[in-house]
C-alpha cells in the first residue's frame, strides 16, 4: 500500500482543499432531497445508472477515489483529503454503489495482489464509473466459514472451469465483474486449496437470480456457475494461495464497513442517521411517563455516535503506526454494527405507531423498513459474532476456537450430501 495515503498534511492546505470541494460539489453534484431521502420502491436499474453517471462526474472533477495512485486514475492524496470529501458530500447525492465494495474492498485487494496488467485494465474503469464490481464469497452452505467454499475451479490448460453457487451478492445483476473465491485443490486443508479469480458477470454459464427483499427491492442475488471457463490470467495472487488474498479482502471489508477505509467515497445516511433534533422532537411527542426511558435511549445513540469516529480514527492510526495488528479492524466493524442497530432501533421505537403503519407518501415508514432490515449491519461484511471471535483470539490472545476440519485434507472433511 502506498505511504502517501496516511501522510501528515498541513492544516492550511486541508482548509483550502475543503473550500475547493465545497465550491465544486455545490456546482456539480445534485443535492440530496432532505424531505424525501427514502424511496421505498426505488428503481434499482435507475439507481445503478445514476451511480455510474455520478461517479463519472466525480472523476471529471478530480474528486473520485482520491487515495488511489495517480497512475491508475486517482489523485495520490491522503485519507485526510478523502474525509473532507466525505464530510462535504453529506448534503449531496454520491455514487455509493462504487464506494463499497468496488473501490474500498475489491480495489485495495487488486492494488495489493493484482498484476500490473490487471491494475491498469480494471482500476481506471472503476474510478471513471465504467465498471461496477461485486464480491462472490458467501455460499449457500454458509458465509462465515469462507475458507470452506465448495465452488470448484478445475484447471484445464490455460483456463479454469468453474462450477458451484454463490449467494447474497449485492447488486450482482447490475455489476460487471466479481472477485470470486473457489476451490482449486481438494487434497490439502481448506485454507490451502483456494484461489481468487476475476470473473466477468455476463459470461457464458453464469445464471444470476435476484432475491426479493422484505422492502420489495432485489439487492441480493444467488449465482449458479455451470462449466464457466475463466482464463488463468484472471487469477489474483497465486493459485492455491487465495486465502492470503481473501484475508486481505476481509481486512479491507472490515475497514470499509467500520468507516475506517481510505477508499470509501461518501457515507451512507439512512433515515435513522438523520439529525438528533428530529429524534428529540419525536420523543417529546410521546407521553410524559415514557420520557425517562426515551431520554436514556437517545443518550446511548448520542454516545455511540460520538465514539464511532474516534474509535475508527484511533484504530486506523494504530494499524498505520504498527501499534495495533490488522485484526484490530474488527473493533470498528463490531462497534459500527452495534451502533447502527442501536440507532435504527431507537429511531423506530421513538416514532412509535407512525413507523409501523403509514400512508402512501408518508416518509416516516422509512424508519419501520430500516428497523426490519436492522440486522444487516451486524451481518454484512462478516457477522459481529465473527468479529468477536477475531477480537478474542487475535487481539486478546484467548484460545482458538476448535475446528475439526482445520488440518484435514478438504476432501476428507465429512459433510452432508
Ligand atoms: C447487507 C449485506 C450485504 C452482503 N453482501 C455480500 C456480497 O456482496 N457478497 C457476498 O459474498 N456476501 C455478501 N453478504 C453475505 C454475508 O457475508 C454473510 O451473510 C455473512 O458472512 C454470514 O454468512 P451466512 O449468512 O451464511 O451465515 P452463517 O455463516 O451460516 O452463520 C449463521 C450464524 O451463525 C454465526 N456463526 C457462524 N460461525 C460462527 C462461529 N465460528 N462462531 C460464532 N458464531 C458463528 C454467525 O455469526 C451467524 O449469526 C452480505 C450480507 C449482508 C447482510
User: For the chain, what is the mean pLDDT?
Assistant: 91
Query: Using CA positions, which residue lies closest to atom 28 of ligand 1?
Result: 142
Confidence band of 40 (pLDDT split at 50, 70, 90): very low
**Residue 111 shares a structural domain with residue 148:** no
Q: Is residue 417 part of a domain?
A: no
- SS3 assignment, position 221: strand
Q: How far is the CA of 167 from the centre of ligand 1 (A)?
A: 10
**Residue 9 shares a structural domain with residue 66:** yes
Q: How far is the CA of 46 from the centre of ligand 1 (A)?
A: 28
| Ligand 1 close to Cβ of residue 148 (< 6 A) | no
Report yes or no on whether pTM surpasses 0.75: yes
Q: Is residue 416 part of a domain?
A: no
Query: Using CA positions, which residue lies closest to atom 25 of ligand 1?
Result: 143
CATH number, domain containing residue 176: 2.40.110.10
| Ligand 1 close to Cβ of residue 137 (< 6 A) | yes
Atom of ligand 1 lying closest to residue 375 CA: 53
Q: How far is the CA of 25 from the centre of ligand 1 (A)?
A: 36
Whether the per-residue pLDDT at 100 is higher than 90: the answer is yes
Q: Is residue 320 part of a domain?
A: yes
What residues form DSSP beta bridges with 179?
135, 198
Q: Is residue 118 part of a domain?
A: yes
**Residue 276 shares a structural domain with residue 166:** no
| Mean pLDDT, residues 280-284 | 90
pLDDT tens sequence across 134-172: 999 999 998 999 999 999 999 999 999 999 999 999 999
DSSP string, 161-201: EEEEEEEEEETGGG-SEEEEEEE--SSSBGGGSEEEEEEES
Please count the residues of the chain: 417
**Residue 278 shares a structural domain with residue 384:** yes
Q: Which of 103, 201, 379 to mutate to test the pocket of ligand 1 (most atoms within 8 A of CB)?
A: 379
**Residue 125 shares a structural domain with residue 141:** no
How many Å apart are CA 53 and CA 60, to the nearest integer?
Answer: 11
Atom of ligand 1 lying closest to residue 140 CA: 26
Q: How far is the CA of 128 from the centre of ligand 1 (A)?
A: 31
**Residue 127 shares a structural domain with residue 159:** no
Confidence band of 41 (pLDDT split at 50, 70, 90): very low
Q: How far is the CA of 138 from the centre of ligand 1 (A)?
A: 7
pLDDT of amino acid 2:
61
| Ligand 1 close to Cβ of residue 135 (< 6 A) | yes
Q: Is residue 254 part of a domain?
A: no
pLDDT of amino acid 34:
58
CATH number, domain containing residue 108: 1.10.540.10
Q: Is residue 356 part of a domain?
A: yes
**Residue 289 shares a structural domain with residue 390:** yes
Range of the domain at 383: 270-395
| Ligand 1 close to Cβ of residue 385 (< 6 A) | yes
Q: Which three cell numbers stand for residue 349?
A: 421505537
Confidence band of 35 (pLDDT split at 50, 70, 90): low
Q: Which of 104, 164, 168 to mutate to test the pocket of ligand 1 (most atoms within 8 A of CB)?
A: 168
With vertex at residue 221, the alpha carbon angle to CA 220 and CA 227, rounded to the nearest 5 degrees, is: 160
Q: Is residue 262 part of a domain?
A: no
**Residue 351 shares a structural domain with residue 385:** yes
How many Å apart are CA 236 and CA 125, to the nearest integer?
Answer: 17
Of 104, 131, 158, the residue that ends a domain is 131
Q: Which of 197, 380, 390 to mutate to test the pocket of ligand 1 (most atoms within 8 A of CB)?
A: 380
**Residue 118 shares a structural domain with residue 20:** yes
Residue found under cell 430500516 = 370
**Residue 288 shares a structural domain with residue 370:** yes
**Residue 26 shares a structural domain with residue 45:** yes
| Mean pLDDT, residues 275-298 | 90
| Ligand 1 close to Cβ of residue 170 (< 6 A) | yes
**Residue 105 shares a structural domain with residue 198:** no
Q: Which three cell numbers stand for residue 337?
A: 454494527
pLDDT of amino acid 71:
96
Of 183, 212, 246, the residue that ends a domain is 246
What sign results for the dihedral spanned by CA atoms 399, 403, 404, 407? negative
Which residue in 160, 150, 129 sits closest to 234, CA to CA? Answer: 160
Q: How far is the CA of 149 from the centre of ligand 1 (A)?
A: 13
Amino acid at each position: 500500500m502506498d505511504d502517501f495515503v496516511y501522510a501528515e498534511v498541513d492544516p492550511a492546505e486541508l482548509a483550502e482543499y475543503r473550500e475547493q470541494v465545497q465550491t465544486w460539489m455545490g456546482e456539480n453534484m445534485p443535492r440530496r432531497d432532505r424531505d424525501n431521502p427514502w424511496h421505498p420502491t426505488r428503481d434499482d436499474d435507475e439507481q445503478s445508472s445514476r451511480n455510474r453517471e455520478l461517479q463519472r462526474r466525480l472523476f471529471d472533477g478530480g474528486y473520485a477515489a482520491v487515495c488511489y495512485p495517480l497512475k491508475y486514475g486517482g489523485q495520490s492524496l491522503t485519507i485526510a483529503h478523502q474525509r473532507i470529501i466525505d464530510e462535504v458530500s453529506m448534503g449531496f447525492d454520491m455514487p455509493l454503489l462504487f464506494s463499497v465494495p468496488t473501490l474500498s474492498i475489491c480495489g485495495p485487494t487488486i492494488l495489493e495482489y493484482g498484476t500490473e496488467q490487471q491494475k491498469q485494465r480494471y482500476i481506471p474503469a472503476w474510478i471513471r464509473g465504467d465498471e461496477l464490481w461485486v464480491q462472490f464469497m458467501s455460499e449457500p452452505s454458509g458465509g462465515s466459514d469462507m475458507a470452506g467454499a465448495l465452488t470448484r475451479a478445475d484447471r484445464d490448460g490455460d483456463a479454469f472451469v468453474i462450477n458451484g453457487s454463490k449467494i447474497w451478492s449485492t447488486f450482482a445483476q447490475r455489476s460487471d465483474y466479481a472477485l470470486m473465491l473457489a476451490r482449486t485443490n481438494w487434497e490439502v486443508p481448506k485454507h490451502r486449496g483456494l484461489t481468487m479469480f476475476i470473473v466477468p458477470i455476463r459470461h457464458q454459464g453464469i445464471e444470476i437470480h435476484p432475491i426479493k427483499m422484505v422492502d420489495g427491492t432485489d439487492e441480493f442475488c444467488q449465482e449458479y456457475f455451470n462449466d464457466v471457463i475463466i482464463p488463468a490470467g484472471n487469477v489474483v495472487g497465486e493459485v492455491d494461495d487465495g486465502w492470503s488474498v481473501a484475508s486481505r479482502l476481509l481486512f479491507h471489508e472490515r475497514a470499509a464497513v467500520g468507516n475506517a477505509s481510505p477508499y470509501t467515497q461518501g457515507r451512507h445516511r439512512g433515515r435513522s442517521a438523520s439529525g438528533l433534533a428530529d429524534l428529540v422532537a419525536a420523543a417529546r411527542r410521546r407521553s410524559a411517563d415514557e420520557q425517562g426511558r426515551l431520554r436514556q435511549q437517545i443518550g446511548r445513540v448520542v454516545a455511540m455516535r460520538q465514539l464511532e469516529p474516534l474509535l475508527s480514527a484511533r484504530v486506523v492510526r494504530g494499524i498505520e503506526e504498527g501499534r495495533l495488528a490488522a485484526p484490530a479492524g474488527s473493533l470498528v466493524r463490531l462497534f459500527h454494527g452495534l451502533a447502527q442497530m442501536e440507532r435504527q432501533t431507537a429511531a423506530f421505537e421513538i416514532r412509535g405507531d407512525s413507523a409501523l403503519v403509514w400512508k402512501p407518501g408518508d416518509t416516516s415508514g422509512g424508519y419501520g423498513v430500516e428497523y426490519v432490515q436492522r440486522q444487516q449491519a451486524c451481518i454484512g461484511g462478516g457477522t459481529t459474532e465473527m468479529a468477536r471471535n477475531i477480537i478474542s483470539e487475535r487481539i486478546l490472545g484467548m484460545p482458538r476456537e476448535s475446528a475439526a476440519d482445520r488440518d484435514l485434507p478438504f476432501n476428507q472433511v465429512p459433510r452432508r450430501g
